[in-house]
């Protein structure tokens, strides 16, 4: 029985170890995809600021803050946070910030199409992946962490 179990478990672990090499690429792809979605939305808002202000006043109902402030904060978040996310510099902060932008976008719309809601859920899941796992090995965060840990070891 042990030999039969080992015949199935050993290949599973080998394949699993090979797939672990894809984790940094998967995190990078998630960061790039979500960053592009939000960054392009921010560029659209900047392109026609008058329409953006109109939409924030009439269409979106962002709670607790004036529509002008919501427009500035939302647009700034959609422009700056994706840059942070793509670089992988303070990845978790960027992903958490975009998660907040994502949630506010969903709750500020009085009506949202099921397909749009589905897209927001996917973006939220990809962002939570970065919040939980960090930017991965292909991020500035990882390189800074390695550099700082090497410097700490050298000073000991």
pLDDT for residue 156: 62
d(Cα 156, Cα 154) in Å, to the nearest integer? 6
Q: Smallest Cα–Cα separation from 110: which of 69, 63, 155?
A: 63
pLDDT for residue 152: 66
Q: Smallest Cα–Cα separation from 96: which of 56, 45, 134, 44?
A: 134
DSSP secondary structure string, 124-146? HHHHHHHHHH-S-SSSHHHHHHH
Q: Residues with Cβ < 8 Å from 26, sequence gap 6 or more?
A: 136
pLDDT for residue 1: 52
pLDDT for residue 63: 82
Q: Residues with Cβ < 8 Å from 132, sequence gap 6 or more?
A: none
Q: Residues with Cβ < 8 Å from 129, sequence gap 6 or more?
A: 27, 30
pLDDT for residue 6: 78
pLDDT means per 10 residues, the chain with 156 residues, are 75 89 94 98 96 92 90 96 96 96 90 93 97 94 91 68
């Amino acid at each position: 029985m042990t030999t039969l179990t080992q015949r199935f478990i050993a290949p599973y672990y080998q394949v699993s170890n090979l797939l672990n090499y894809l984790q940094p690429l998967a995190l990078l792809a998630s960061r790039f995809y979500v960053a592009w979605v939000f960054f392009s939305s921010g560029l659209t808002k900047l392109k026609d600021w008058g329409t953006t202000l109109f939409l924030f006043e009439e269409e979106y109902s962002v709670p607790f803050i004036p529509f002008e402030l919501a427009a500035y904060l939302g647009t700034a978040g959609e422009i700056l946070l994706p840059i942070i996310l793509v670089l992988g510099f303070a990845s978790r902060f960027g992903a958490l910030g975009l998660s907040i932008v994502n949630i506010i976008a969903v709750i500020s719309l009085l009506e949202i199409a099921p397909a749009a809601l589905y897209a927001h859920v996917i973006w939220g899941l990809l962002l939570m992946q970065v919040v939980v796992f960090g930017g991965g090995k292909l991020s500035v965060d990882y390189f800074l962490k390695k550099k700082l840990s090497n410097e700490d070891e050298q000073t000991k």
